Amino acid sequence: MGVEETETLFPSDTKQVAKKLGKERTLACLEKMLECRNFELRAEAAYQQGKVGGFLHLYIGQEAIQTALIGAIGVDHWFIASYRCHALALLLGETPESLMKELYGKADGNTFGRGGSMHMYSKRMLGGFAIVGGQIAIGTGAAFSLKYLNKKGEIAVTFFGDGAMAQGSFHESMNLASLLSVPCMYVLENNKWSMGTPLYRTIANHEHFPRMAAAAYDIKYMRLDGMDLFNCYAGFQEAYSHIQSTGRPILVECMTERFRGHSISDPALYRSKEELKACMERDPILLLKNFAMAQGWLTAEEYKALDKKCRDSILAAVKAAEEDPWPDVASLESGVYAKGDE
Ligand SMILES: Cc1ncc(C[n+]2csc(CCOP(=O)(O)OP(=O)(O)O)c2C)c(N)n1
Ligand SMILES: [Mg+2]
């Protein structure tokens, strides 16, 4: 039994969304996606060379979602994610250098070499979290704080995977968010896999579950095509205005694909080459590139140059990570305890 997609996608007219977005912002999104992709390809290579410790979960294939969301609502909100968190940190303005240094466990990394791949932060990113579903409750708390502090316009965005829907934290959070009417955008990135377990073995009534769970908690639900930047862009704008106009939470399900195994140590032998090949034909970067070229916004040479620009900046980040010192042993205890009112 596979995943039959029978729920309705949020309708958007690609040409109209693209026209509104314009050439410059569309190409800026493409560049961001290429930066994320190149970062992760190099991170993967570095891991295989034994340069990166711990786990490494790649976002390759899912880039359109977070790129579109941040393009649509900006960075002045609060964000929280699972362990698949490199792209989010990059999109929120952390430099490839600081993130690559973090993967290498070096002193000037994003969390001074202490967090590694799964725990990245930015000024507005409350972290990547390893406990499946754990971040949903924290994101809901952030939304509650925004309401409590009367921070108009700001929302809390919580990303999680399809596997997290089976966790109590998902249900407890949705229930409280609805009861308390908090400005939380729950973004379910449905790549149809939880490690090596397919969605239909994780969630009963999997196809309709997200919509029905949202309805059970009296929360609005939308489904987006997570491979299509424009559908995501328009959908997230709509989701944001829903929160703004009602003060209510929303659940946005993005149908997407994981092009790699669950983590770097998973060769994903449970998926056939044919299935993966078919998914990769809808690579979000490829779709956007083809659209931009058909619009006359980009030539093949310009695309190559854009990709090279991103690759070069990531290669520079790798070099910087190689050269960065290890954390000083004397700093072992710093950051362990909060001081006073920190
Ligand atoms: C509470 C908990 N249970 C189990 C695990 C082991 N685990 C790590 S990732 C994962 C799969 C999660 O899949 P999903 O939520 O769909 O996210 P994806 O990896 O597809 O982005 C599991 C079961 C964990 N980290 N935390
Ligand atoms: Mg998943």
Residue carrying structure tokens 């995977």: 161
Residue 186, SS3? Answer: strand
* Closest to 62 (Cα-Cα) out of 88, 31, 43: 88
Q: Which atom of ligand 1 is nearest to the CA of 262?
A: 19
Q: Domains of the chain, with CATH numbers?
A: 35-321 (3.40.50.970)
Cβ neighbours of 215 (radius 10 Å): 13
**Per-residue pLDDT in tens (0 to 9) along the chain, 342 residues:** 444 578 999 999 999 999 999 999 999 999 999 999 999 999 999 999 999 999 999 999 999 999 999 999 999 999 999 999 999 999 999 999 999 999 999 999 999 999 999 999 999 999 999 999 999 999 999 999 999 999 999 999 999 999 999 999 999 999 999 999 999 999 999 999 999 999 999 999 999 999 999 999 999 999 999 999 999 999 999 999 999 999 999 999 999 999 999 999 999 999 999 999 999 999 999 999 999 999 999 999 999 999 999 999 999 999 999 999 999 999 988 888 877 765
pLDDT at 342: 56
Q: Whose CA is nearest to atom 25 of ligand 1?
A: 131
Give distance in angstroms: CA of 174 to centre of ligand 1. Answer: 19
Q: Nearest ligand to the C-alpha of residue 159?
A: 1
Do the beta carbons of residue 91 and residue 46 sit within 8 Å? no
Going by CA atoms, what residue is nearest to atom 3 of ligand 1?
A: 132
Q: Whose CA is nearest to atom 21 of ligand 1?
A: 161
Contact 288, 229 (CB under 8 A): yes
Q: Tell me, what DSSP letter sits at residue 46?
A: H
Token readout for 49 is 């060379």
Closest CA to 62 of 157, 165, 187, 171: 187
Q: CB 69: neighbour CB atoms within 10 A?
A: 28
Which atom of ligand 1 is least distant from the CA of 134? 1
Q: What b/e string do you get for 76-112 counting C-beta neighbours within 10 Å, with b at 16 or more? A: ebbbbbbbbbbbbbbbbebebbbbbbbbbbbebbbeb
Query: Can you give the pLDDT at residue 341?
Result: 64
User: Is the model's pTM score more than 0.85?
Assistant: yes
Task: Return the structure tokens found at 67.
Answer: 């790129």
Does ligand 1 come within 6 angstroms of the Cβ of 206? no
Distance 225 CA to ligand 2 centre (A): 15
Q: How far apart are CA 263 and CA 256, in angstroms?
A: 17
